[in-house]
């Protein structure tokens, strides 16, 4: 039986494999693809809608227990596909 996590954006429960773990490193939201990075993590669906909702509701700040604003540019680039390009491939 696979573990179940709750998306911080839409608050729906889903299997761990359907969600993306996000951690905060120096106030930057970083996607944790393998879910092995140390520290607290927040789980979110891999959709821009859930990420936008979580950012608007400040859910990442609460879930990760950090103070101040978080930079979500790295996370948004990953969701838009920029993180998947390697060596100039299209």
Assigned domain for 89 exists:
no
- Other Cβ atoms closer than 10 A to 16: 12
pLDDT at 86 over 80: no
Would 31 be classed as within a structural domain?
yes
**Number of structural domains, the chain?**
1
pLDDT in tens, 47-84: 999 999 999 999 999 999 998 899 999 999 988 886 55
How many whole angstroms separate alpha carbon 66 and alpha carbon 27? 8
Domain interval for residue 59: 4-84
- Does a structural domain hold residue 32? yes
85 vs 11 pLDDT, higher one: 11
Q: What are phi and psi of 7, to 5 degrees?
A: -70, 130
Question: Residue 63's domain is classified under what CATH number?
Answer: 3.30.1230.10
Comparing CA positions, the residue from 32, 17, 87, 16 lying closest to residue 64 is 32
User: Please, how many CA atoms are within 13 Å of residue 84, restricted to the half-sphere of its CB?
Assistant: 6
- Asked if residue 53 belongs to a domain, the reply is yes
Q: Helix (H, G, I), strand (E, B), or coil: what is residue 59? A: helix
- Please write the tens of the pLDDT for every residue from 20-54: 999 999 999 999 999 999 999 999 999 999 999 99
Res 1 pLDDT > 60: yes
């Amino acid at each position: 039986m696979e573990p179940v996590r709750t998306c911080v954006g839409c608050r729906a429960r889903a299997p761990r494999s359907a969600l993306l773990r996000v951690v905060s490193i120096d106030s930057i939201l970083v996607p944790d693809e393998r879910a092995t990075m140390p520290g607290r993590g927040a789980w979110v669906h891999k959709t821009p809608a859930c990420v936008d909702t979580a950012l608007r509701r400040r859910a990442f700040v609460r879930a990760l227990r950090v103070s101040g604003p978080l930079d979500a540019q790295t996370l948004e680039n990953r969701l838009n596909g920029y993180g998947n390009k390697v060596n100039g491939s299209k």
